[in-house]
Amino acid sequence: MSKLTDKVSEIARPIVEEEGCTLWDVEYVREAGTWYLRVFIDKDGGVSIDDCERVSRRLDPILDEEDPIPDSYVFEVGSAGADRELKRPCDFEQFMGNEIEVKLFRPVGGSKHYTGTLAAYENGTVSLAQGETILNFTKDQIAQVRLYVSIN
């Protein structure tokens, strides 16, 4: 995490927790020429639009006052989502045994996309179970890991 997102996380965490949620992630990204500061929150039972609004209304003036970002940006607060990205070791630990999808930078075994059960995570290596088969992907192979949401 960059120093900027670390600083925003420090500012946001107490407010998010006071609103009965947990801070999942903070990202600062440029899309189509515009900078976006996104704060992702989570809560048992799911995050509502009201949760996002309360956190946004409380956090926005504090970010203006603290001014951790010198450039102009669009500020958004949203749910981590059912298909949330797993980034930190604690994310993988929390969702061990759940269905995930792994996207790779380059094809391995003819594919850049794999789904299965998160079987292990150690030092950046993700182990994915597909039935009796275990596939291991190293940190340098992985573009993204998300929880897999099946649409039935």
pLDDT above 70 covers a percentage of the chain that reads 98
Q: Which one, of 30, 28, 22, 29, lies nearest residue 63 by Cα?
A: 28
Task: Confirm whether 84 is domain-assigned.
Answer: no
Long-range residue pairs from 85-91, CB within 8 A, at least 24 positions apart, any chain = 85/25, 85/144, 85/145, 85/146, 86/145, 86/146, 86/147, 87/25, 87/145, 89/121
Query: Is residue 152 predicted with pLDDT exceeding 90?
Result: no
Identify whether residues 21 and 67 lie together within a single domain. Answer: yes
Radius of gyration from C-alpha coordinates of the chain: 17
18 three-state secondary structure = helix
Range of the domain at 23: 3-79
Residue 151's pLDDT is what?
77
Which of 79, 97, 112 delimits the end of a domain?
79
- The two beta strands, 74-79 and 99-108, are unpaired
Q: Is the pTM of this model over 0.85?
A: no
Identify whether residues 73 and 122 lie together within a single domain. Answer: no
Which of 24, 59, 79 delimits the end of a domain?
79
Token pair of 106 as six digits: 């380059």
Identify whether residues 101 and 66 lie together within a single domain. Answer: no
